[in-house]
């Protein structure tokens, strides 16, 4: 647990929870693919050109590596939702993200299953979304229909199978989502299988445009 007014990374005192120097050193934006947010010198990476994702666009604030891995673990698994405010600031300052939030009609956090929510005590994607735009966040639009294995423990083809039928649009929200621009919110993106599975059911329900914003993207 970090000490208030001390940087959690370099331990500078007094400081913000993440000091400006550490943000500049470890949170600097890097070129990314516009469709999957993987680090890439190309606007659309070769993987997305060969196999276009369902997402129309995707943004990530930082890469999932040191020192962010331990901070994300504190956020998700050690009951420290207060990190959401600091992570959301980095997400919002990512190039083009402010415009994406402004243009979105709805922000939808990736839901957790009832079992996972009970274990964790809160949905990390929901608290991030609320920090980005409380008024646009619609936490009940997308439902997690069943508990699934942790995506990080699976190979890519296993991840796709793991998510078959995992998401559904809430029946009472389906009509309201037709023709809407939706921005999905999640904390960490690995292969993109979760976000694309969610985007698929939203587009099947009539959403006009579905993009995604995550705090961290795992390196290829």
The gap between the terminal CA atoms of the chain, to the nearest Å, is 29
What pLDDT score was predicted for residue 79? 87
Q: Which CATH architecture has domain 31-217?
A: 3-Layer(aba) Sandwich (3.40)
Instruction: Assign 148 a pLDDT band (cuts: 50, 70, 90).
Output: low
In 49-179 the beta strands, taken as DSSP E runs, fall at 57-63, 106-109, 142-144, 167-169
What pLDDT score was predicted for residue 40? 96
How is the chain split into domains, by residue range? 1-29, 31-217
Q: What is the pTM of this model?
A: 0.90
- For residue 127 the two structure tokens come to 């608290």
């Amino acid at each position: 647990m970090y000490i208030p007014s001390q940087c959690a990374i370099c331990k500078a005192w007094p400081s913000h929870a993440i000091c400006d120097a550490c943000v500049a050193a470890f949170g600097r934006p890097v070129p990314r693919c516009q469709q999957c947010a993987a680090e890439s010198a190309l606007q659309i990476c070769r993987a997305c050109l060969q196999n276009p994702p369902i997402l129309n666009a995707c943004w990530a604030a930082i890469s999932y590596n040191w020192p962010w891995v331990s901070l994300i673990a504190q956020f998700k698994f050690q009951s420290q939702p207060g990190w959401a405010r600091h992570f959301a600031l980095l997400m919002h300052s990512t190039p083009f993200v402010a415009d994406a939030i402004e243009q979105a009609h709805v922000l939808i956090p990736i839901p957790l299953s009832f079992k996972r929510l009970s274990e964790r005590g809160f949905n990390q994607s929901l608290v991030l979304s609320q920090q980005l735009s409380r008024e646009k966040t619609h936490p009940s639009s997308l439902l997690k229909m069943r508990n699934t294995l942790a995506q990080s423990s699976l190979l890519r083809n296993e991840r796709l199978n793991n998510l078959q039928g995992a998401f559904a649009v809430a029946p009472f929200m389906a009509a309201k989502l037709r023709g809407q621009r939706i921005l999905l919110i999640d904390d960490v993106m690995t292969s993109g299988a979760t976000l694309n599975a969610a985007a698929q059911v939203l587009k099947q329900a009539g959403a006009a445009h579905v993009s995604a914003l995550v705090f961290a993207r795992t390196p290829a």
